[in-house]
């Protein structure tokens, strides 16, 4: 599933073709993509609207709309498993899996293509009704080490599921959680409230460094689904150090990478570089 770097790549590549354009008509071949908004209501909301901006929030893509210079709600897209977005010439063929097409006033068209059909492109009067509860953007100034330490200590959860919680921090999924924990040398089952400040700082830096590098490489394409809007695969999958590498040597210590299940998600780690949490000494053992 596309995570922050993949979605950021999509936004950067489709934005220039969309900002300032007016949507002149739409066609929808899979109604569920609209997330419960009927086609008539969808058309009333988007046809004739102009795209004011395209931005990423977590794993969502927000298309801000306006009419006559006034805000007119937003389309909020989520690629889920296999969604792709393209802005192409009018005669471009999206193939059998094109779900939504928006014609633009410059003769080009935006396409939402989705093999697995879990992706969504939903109109909302206010994008915050969908993205308002997301946690901080890990590459923004809102994401600070003191805030991160405070949130880790307040949550008292295992690190892996916590990193996947979009209300804790936005945009991280299975790949970048595993890679960040490896880089920070922290076991996925460590409890967030028991990290030292130094450990929290390692995780904070790891998350940011890995996401930045993955964006530079246009994300990861390890299956047939994710491609950039120019049709190219990303290349960060060649940098994976633990994700999908179970049974192969750890790049740091050469022990075999292990795969465990945490919260129903396959989780990759080096059990030497990322030592398991020690059970807490029971109070009774402490000297009075
Ligand atoms: Zn190792």
**Assigned domain for 282 exists:** no
Q: Are 202 and 29 in contact (CB under 8 A)?
A: no
Q: Are 39 and 30 in contact (CB under 8 A)?
A: no
Shared domain for 170 and 198, answered yes or no, is: yes
**Assigned domain for 22 exists:** yes
Which phi and psi (to 5°) does residue 104 adopt? -115, 160
Q: Separation of 177 CA from ligand 1 center, angstroms?
A: 17
CA atoms within 13 A on the CB side of 154: 7
**Assigned domain for 38 exists:** yes
Query: What is the count of structural domains for the chain?
Result: 2
**Assigned domain for 23 exists:** yes
**Assigned domain for 288 exists:** no
**Assigned domain for 172 exists:** yes
**Assigned domain for 251 exists:** yes
Please report how the helices 197-216 and 174-183 are oriented relative to each other, as an axis angle in degrees rounded to 10: 130
Q: Separation of 162 CA from ligand 1 center, angstroms?
A: 23
Shared domain for 246 and 203, answered yes or no, is: yes
- Any idea what the CATH number is for the domain that residue 263 is in? 1.10.8.50
Q: Separation of 195 CA from ligand 1 center, angstroms?
A: 20
Pairing outcome for strands 83-89 and 70-78:
unpaired
Helix, coil or strand: residue 118: coil
Active site residues: 2-3, 59, 265
Shared domain for 116 and 15, answered yes or no, is: yes
Per-residue pLDDT of the chain (288 residues; tens, 9 = 90+): 899 999 999 999 999 999 999 999 999 999 999 999 999 999 999 999 999 999 999 999 999 999 999 999 999 999 999 999 999 999 999 999 999 999 999 999 999 999 999 999 999 999 999 999 999 999 999 999 999 999 999 999 999 999 999 999 999 999 999 999 999 999 999 999 999 999 999 999 999 999 999 999 999 997 778 889 888 999 999 999 999 999 999 999 999 999 999 999 999 999 999 999 987 666 555 555
CA angle 46, 26, 134 (to 5 degrees): 50
Q: Separation of 4 CA from ligand 1 center, angstroms?
A: 26
Shared domain for 235 and 258, answered yes or no, is: yes
CA atoms within 13 A on the CB side of 186: 29
pTM tops 0.85, yes or no: yes
| Start-to-end Cα distance in the chain | 52
Q: Are 227 and 84 in contact (CB under 8 A)?
A: yes
- Which residue from 119, 123, 122, 104 is spatially nearest to 17, judged by alpha carbons? 104
Q: Which domain holds residue 182?
A: 145-269
Q: Separation of 201 CA from ligand 1 center, angstroms?
A: 20
Shared domain for 39 and 151, answered yes or no, is: no
3-state secondary structure 22-47: EEEEEEECCHHHHCCCCHHHHHHHHC
Q: Separation of 83 CA from ligand 1 center, angstroms?
A: 35
- Any idea what the CATH number is for the domain that residue 69 is in? 3.20.190.10
């Amino acid at each position: 599933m596309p995570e922050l770097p993949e979605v950021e790549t999509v936004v950067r590549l489709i934005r220039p073709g969309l900002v300032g354009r007016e949507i002149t008509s739409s066609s929808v071949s899979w109604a569920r993509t609209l997330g419960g908004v009927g086609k008539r209501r969808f058309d009333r909301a988007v046809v004739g609207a102009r795209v004011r901006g395209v931005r990423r929030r977590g794993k969502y893509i927000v298309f801000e709309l306006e009419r006559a210079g006034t805000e007119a709600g937003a389309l909020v897209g989520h690629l889920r498993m296999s969604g792709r977005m393209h802005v192409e010439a009018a005669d471009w063929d999206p193939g059998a899996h094109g779900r939504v097409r928006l014609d633009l006033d410059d003769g080009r068209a935006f396409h939402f293509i989705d093999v697995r059909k879990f992706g969504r492109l939903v109109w909302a009067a206010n994008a915050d009704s969908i993205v308002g509860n997301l946690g901080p953007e890990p590459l923004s100034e809102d994401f600070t080490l003191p805030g991160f330490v405070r949130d880790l200590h307040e949550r008292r959860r295992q690190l892996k599921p916590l990193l996947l919680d979009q209300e804790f921090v936005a945009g991280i999924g299975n790949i970048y959680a595993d890679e960040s924990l490896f880089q920070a040398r922290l076991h996925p089952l460590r409890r967030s409230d028991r990290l030292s400040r130094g450990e929290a700082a390692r995780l904070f830096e790891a998350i940011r460094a890995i996401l930045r590098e993955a964006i530079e490489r246009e994300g990861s394409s390890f299956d047939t689904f994710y491609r950039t809007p120019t049709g190219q695969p990303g290349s960060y999958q060649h940098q994976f150090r633990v994700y999908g590498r179970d049974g192969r040597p750890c790049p740091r210590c050469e022990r075999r990478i292990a795969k465990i299940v945490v919260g129903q998600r396959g989780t990759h780690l080096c059990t030497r570089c990322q030592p398991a949490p020690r059970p807490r000494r029971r109070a009774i053992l402490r000297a009075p």
